[in-house]
Amino acid sequence: MNPTACLLIIGNEVLSGRTRDANLQFLATRLGEMGIPLREVRVIPDVPEIIVDTVNEVRGKYDHVFTTGGIGPTHDDITSECVAMAFGVPWVVHEESRANMAADYARRDPPVEMNAARLRMATLPLGAVPIVCPMTSAPGFSMGNVHVMAGVPRIMQSMFDALAPSLQGGVPVVSRAVHAIGVFEGNIAEGLEAIQKRYPDLDIGSYPFYRQSAGVPGAVPSFPGGGVSLVSKGVSLSDVEAATAEITAMLVAMGASPIQGEPT
Amino acid sequence: MNPTACLLIIGNEVLSGRTRDANLQFLATRLGEMGIPLREVRVIPDVPEIIVDTVNEVRGKYDHVFTTGGIGPTHDDITSECVAMAFGVPWVVHEESRANMAADYARRDPPVEMNAARLRMATLPLGAVPIVCPMTSAPGFSMGNVHVMAGVPRIMQSMFDALAPSLQGGVPVVSRAVHAIGVFEGNIAEGLEAIQKRYPDLDIGSYPFYRQSAGVPGAVPSFPGGGVSLVSKGVSLSDVEAATAEITAMLVAMGASPIQGEPT
Q: ipTM score of the complex?
A: 0.92
- CA–centroid distance for B171 within its chain: 18
Q: Does A253 touch chain B (CB under 8 A)?
A: no
Q: Are residues B12 and B140 in the same domain?
A: yes
Q: Are residues A52 and A125 in the same domain?
A: yes
Q: Are residues B157 and B214 in the same domain?
A: no
Q: Are residues B113 and B129 in the same domain?
A: yes
Q: Are residues B132 and B244 in the same domain?
A: no
Task: Give the type of residue at A94.
Answer: H
Interface subset of B 210-239, CB within 8 angstroms of A: 210, 218, 220-222, 231, 233
Number of domains in chain A: 2
- Closest Cα of chain A to B3: distance in Å? 14
- Closest Cα of chain A to B173: distance in Å? 9
Cβ-nearest to A72 among B158, B185, B233:
B185
Tens digits of residue pLDDT in A109-161 = 888 999 999 999 999 999 999 999 999 999 999 999 999 999 999 999 999 99
- Domain boundary (A109, A139, A166) is at A166
Start-to-end Cα distance in chain B: 27
CA of A118: which chain B residue's CA is closest? Answer: B186
Enter the DSSP assignment of B215: T
Q: Are residues A30 and A139 in the same domain?
A: yes
Cross-chain residue pair B74–A17, CB shorter than 8 Å: no
* Contact residues on chain B for A195, CB-CB shorter than 8 A: none
- Domain boundary (A141, A166, A191) is at A166
Cross-chain residue pair A115–B186, CB shorter than 8 Å: yes
What residues contact residue B88 under an 8 Å CB cut-off, 6+ apart?
Answer: none
Q: Are residues B118 and B187 in the same domain?
A: no
- CA–centroid distance for B80 within its chain: 20
**Which one of A75, A119, A157, A179 would you mutate to disrupt binding with B, by most B Cβ within 10 Å of its Cβ?**
A75
Q: Does A127 touch chain B (CB under 8 A)?
A: no
CATH number at residue A106: 3.40.980.10
Cross-chain residue pair A76–B21, CB shorter than 8 Å: no
Domain extent at residue B192: 174-261
Cβ-nearest to B190 among A27, A116, A185:
A116
pLDDT in tens, chain B (264 residues): 899 999 999 999 999 999 999 999 999 999 999 999 999 999 999 999 999 999 999 999 999 999 999 999 999 999 999 999 999 999 999 999 999 999 999 998 888 999 999 999 999 999 999 999 999 999 999 999 999 999 999 999 999 999 999 999 999 989 999 999 889 899 999 999 999 999 999 999 999 887 654 433 333 344 456 889 999 999 999 999 999 999 999 999 999 989 887 655
- Closest Cα of chain B to A241: distance in Å? 18
Q: Does B13 touch chain A (CB under 8 A)?
A: yes
Q: With residue A93 as reference, give the H or E element that holds it.
A: strand A91-93
What residues contact residue A34 under an 8 Å CB cut-off, 6+ apart?
Answer: A164, A167, A169, A170, A172
Tens digits of residue pLDDT in B218-263 = 333 444 568 899 999 999 999 999 999 999 999 999 999 898 876 5
Task: Identify each DSSP E strand in chain B by its residue range.
Answer: 5-10, 38-44, 64-68, 91-93, 123-125, 129-133, 136-143, 146-149, 174-181, 203-209, 227-234, 259-261
Q: Are residues B37 and B113 in the same domain?
A: yes
Q: Are residues B11 and B91 in the same domain?
A: yes
Q: Model pTM greater than 0.90?
A: yes
CA of A25: which chain B residue's CA is closest? Answer: B17
Cβ-nearest to A205 among B13, B32, B210:
B13
Contact of B36 with A15, CB cutoff 8 Å? no
Contact of B197 with B135, CB cutoff 8 Å? no
- Closest Cα of chain B to A41: distance in Å? 5
Interface subset of A 40-99, CB within 8 angstroms of B: 40-45, 72-76
CA atoms within 13 A on the CB side of B264: 13
Cross-chain residue pair A29–B19, CB shorter than 8 Å: no
Q: Is B164 exposed, middle or buried (0-12, 13-18, 19+ CB in 10 A)?
A: middle
pLDDT interval class at A263 (50, 70, 90) = low
CA of A224: which chain B residue's CA is closest? Answer: B109
Cβ-nearest to B76 among A30, A39, A206:
A206
CA of A24: which chain B residue's CA is closest? Answer: B17
Helices (H), chain A: 12-15, 24-33, 48-61, 79-87, 95-107, 116-120, 153-163, 185-198, 237-253
- Domain boundary (A166, A182, A207) is at A166
Contact of B10 with B51, CB cutoff 8 Å? yes
Query: How far apart (Å, rounded) are the C-alpha atoms in residues A24 and A13?
Result: 15
Cβ-nearest to A185 among B9, B72, B175:
B72
Cβ-nearest to B189 among A21, A75, A189:
A75
Q: What is the largest CA-CA distance in chain B?
A: 70
CATH number at residue A220: 3.30.70.260
- Average of per-residue pLDDT values in chain A: 92
The pLDDT of residue A206 is 94
Strand-pairing partners, residue A10, are A44
Q: Are residues B46 and B132 in the same domain?
A: yes
Q: Does A154 touch chain B (CB under 8 A)?
A: yes
Cβ-nearest to A117 among B13, B72, B186:
B186
CA distances from B137 to A91, B106, B117 (A): 55, 12, 14
Q: Are residues B38 and B120 in the same domain?
A: yes
Cross-chain residue pair A117–B203, CB shorter than 8 Å: no
Q: Are residues B241 and B141 in the same domain?
A: no
Q: Is B8 exposed, middle or buried (0-12, 13-18, 19+ CB in 10 A)?
A: buried
The pLDDT of residue B102 is 96
